[in-house]
Structure 1
Amino acid sequence: MTDLTATGPAPLGTFERWLSLWVLAAMIGGIGLGVVAPGLVQAVAGAEVASINLVVAVLIWAMVYPMMIGVDFGAVSGIARQPRGLLITLAVNWLVKPFTMAALAVLFFEYIFAPWIDPQDATQYIAGLILLGAAPCTAMVFVWSQLTRGDETYTLVQVSVNDLIMVVAFAPIVAFLLGVTDVQVPWQTLVLATVLYVVLPLIAGQITRRAMGDRTAAFIARIKPFSMIGLLATVAILFALQGQVILDRPIVIAMIAVPILIQSYGIFALAYAAAHALRVPHRIAAPCALIGTSNFFELAVAVAISLFGLNSGAALATVVGVLVEVPVMLSLVAFANRTRDRFPEVRT
């Protein structure tokens, strides 16, 4: 594995550093657009084929495609050199995280917040939170890994294996959890969304990676801005449709954020403590905990839109996840860096 312990963490770019601010600006701009041009927003919402919104599909592809080019499945062979970090990530992502997120969503929106939330809205928020919990991070985790001086190759192995599992496990887990929480989900739409937003971009990304060869990194750098543009445009569209709800009930955003915050810090604590107990080197331990904490919010947003619609509470819940994630992850990166000396720096 590449040893990065002697190098300083790569800084966030200007855009990534202020991502929360840009997302907030997109939210405000979307609300304004919904007020000023409701006809335009409804026209965008109506551009659907087989429950897939065509405008949002293009934007989601713009987000996901650059990430999928960076996935190198050839690196999976390096797992045998240090399997513990990967095992922790997989256990947290697929055996713990989706179920704790579902449990927290039900706890808060069917019980704690029940007096202030309409039952139908509560069901939608639960569905959105479940989608967030079942989609482990694919792209931004590379940023968090760099900031903690993580092993880039091992991080790539973790992300690649998670993507392979996500292709076959995401739809069944989501369908099961939504069924448990009494949300009726059309399997056809869920599978279609998974194929459209995971399988096909992954195939396209790997074809591009082979075609570009040594120019892959430069190509990703050129198209990366489109990923951020797609994210912000999607957020703006979502908040344009949800604008009146937000203006009437801004407290809803804070309510949705509460279980996300508890989930994020709780999952990190679990994975980081497990890595410490198993004496996983910090350059692997930090990224493995951060992968489990972060979400593939692009996929969650896309599936929420496909299943429940652009103006649904489920879509709103996934977009709140975008707003919450960056400041939470930066705080956890800082904590991981402060506790570096408590982990071994060599494989034991």
Structure 2
Amino acid sequence: MAANKGIGFFERYLTLWVFGCIGLGIVSGHYFPGLFQAIGSMKAAEVNLPVAVLIWLMIVPMLLKIDFGALHAVKQHARGIAVTLFINWLVKPFSMALLGGLFIRYLFADWLPAGQIDSYIAGLILLAAAPCTAMVFVWSNLCDGEPHFTLSQVAVNDAIMLFALSLLAALQWLSPLSLSALLLTLILLFGFQGQQILAQPLVIGLLAVPIIIQVYFNAGLAYWLNRKLKVAHCVAGPSALIGASNFFELAVATAISLFGFESGAVLATVVGVLIEVPVMLSVVQLVNRSKHWYEQETI
């Protein structure tokens, strides 16, 4: 089971792979503009065919059967699951809308292209609206989380995304094929958008600010609520991590399908990919280091 595995080599250095693909895309777009123009012209019914293939390669590994059998364990961890659901579905999307509006529409507006403001905010909300159901097994393992809670929580989130949001079933493990398709998509994305980004290099950094703030806010709120409800630390840890992390592959694919490959929404979701691993590892460290403090009240 994925919950029994540590973070793999491919996932551990995801940030480096993303930076590499960003650089390769920008350089390729600069020196081979004709190639990207040709790729951009490969359309059918206004859908870019190479990008459509890459989206499916991101999504197909996610089309694994949801483990509805894990739902039987929900009652055993009702308080922890209730907290996580509250954070994932009632706090996270709306707090990101608030943070996106505050930072992107107001505080950072002078440094961002005016025509992309709404698109950036939409991408940030998409990122927040998709709770992670893959890497959370890794985060849970790293903080000695209760594996049955993690599995049952993921099953609940999968079911909600499948039925309530009409989205595709979520993956139970992080597929190298899915990530490879994601990285190839990033090369194309930055091949098309590279010149715009080079003209405004602060864009990625500015978009990262509300994402980082939201990760720590949601993780902290979930952790605190679990402590108040006297939930065991082995459940509170993964609850906080599930509440904070994002299903970035799905967010990127959804942004492309809704707003187009060259939209600001896609770029905003890509920033989530860029910072996911280092930020979440820092949350894992905070959860582990605060265990003694947490258990002082919950014992």
- Settle same-fold status: TM greater than 0.5: yes
Are 1:149 and 2:100 counterparts? no
Question: Residue 270 of structure 2 corresponds to which residue in structure 1?
Answer: 319
- Identify the match of residue 93 of structure 1 among 85, 88, 91: 88
Distance 1:154 1:282 in 2: 12
Q: Which amino acid aligns with 1:226?
A: L
Hey, what does 2:69 align to over in structure 1?
74
1:84–1:278: 8 Å Cα contact kept in structure 2? yes
Q: CA deviation at 1:232?
A: 1.0
1:283 aligned to 2:283? no
CA contact (8 A) 1:257 1:320 kept: yes
Displacement after TM superposition at 1:156 (Å): 1.4
Partner of 2:262, secondary structure, is coil
Counterpart of 2:245 in structure 1 is: 294
Q: In the alignment, what sits opposite 2:56?
A: 61
- Superposed, which structure 2 residues align to 1:126-275 within 5 Å? 126-170=121-165, 198-199=167-168, 224-275=175-226
The residue type equivalent to 1:227 in the other structure is S
Q: What is the RMSD of the two structures over their aligned residues, measured on CA atoms?
A: 2.5
Q: 1:65 to 1:139 in 2, by over 3 A?
A: farther
CA distance in 2, matches of 1:71, 1:283: 23
Provide structure 2 residue ranges, at least 5 long, that are not aligned to the other structure: none
Residue 113 of structure 2 is matched in structure 1 by 118
SS in 2 for 1:136: coil
Using the TM superposition, give the Cα deviation of residue 251 of structure 1 relative to its aligned residue in structure 2, in angstroms: 0.7
Distance 1:53 1:73 in 2: 35
CA shift in 2, pair 1:83/1:50, >3 Å: farther
Task: Report if aligned partners of 2:111, 2:202 keep a CA contact under 8 Å in 1.
Answer: no
> Deviation at 1:94?
0.7
The offset of 1:266, in angstroms, is 0.7
Change (3 A) 1:336 1:53: farther
Q: Report the TM-score, using the length of structure 2 for normalisation.
A: 0.90
Larger mean CA deviation between 20-29 and 39-48 belongs to: 39-48
- Give TM-score scaled by structure 1 length: 0.78
Code of the aligned partner of 1:240? G
Look up the SS of the partner of 1:311 in the other structure.
coil
Asked if the contact 1:60–1:298 (Cα under 8 Å) also holds between the matched residues in 2, the reply is no
- Would you say the 8 A contact 2:143–2:237 is kept in 1? yes
Structure 2: how far apart are the matches of 1:341 and 1:51?
56
Q: Deviations over 1:63-118 (max 9, x none)?
A: 34434427411110111112011111111111110001011111112211122223
Q: Alignment partner of 2:134: what SS?
A: coil
Q: 1:147 to 1:64 in 2, by over 3 A?
A: farther
Aligned residue number for residue 175 of structure 1: none
Percent identity of equivalent pairs: 52
Change (3 A) 1:35 1:126: same
Structure 1 residue 10, shift from structure 2 partner: 4.5
**Maintained 8 Å contact 1:71/1:156:** no
Over residues 213-242 of structure 1, what are the superposed CA-to-partner deviations in whole Å (9 max), with x where a residue is unaligned?
xxxx9xx79xx3212211211221211111
* Unpaired segments ≥5 residues, structure 1: 171-193, 206-216
CA change 1:51–1:142 in 2 (3 A) is farther
Q: 2:30 aligns with which of 35, 51, 60?
A: 35
CA offsets per residue over residues 276-320 of structure 1, 9 Å max, x none?
111111221111111111111111111111122111111111101
SS at match of 2:182: helix
CA distance in 2, matches of 1:159, 1:309: 29
Encode CA deviations 1:246-274: one digit per residue, 9 max, x unaligned. Answer: 11110111111111111111111111111
1:25 is aligned to 2:27: no
Deviations 1:122-180 (A, max 9, x none): 1111111111111111211111111112122221111111121123444xxxxxxxxxx
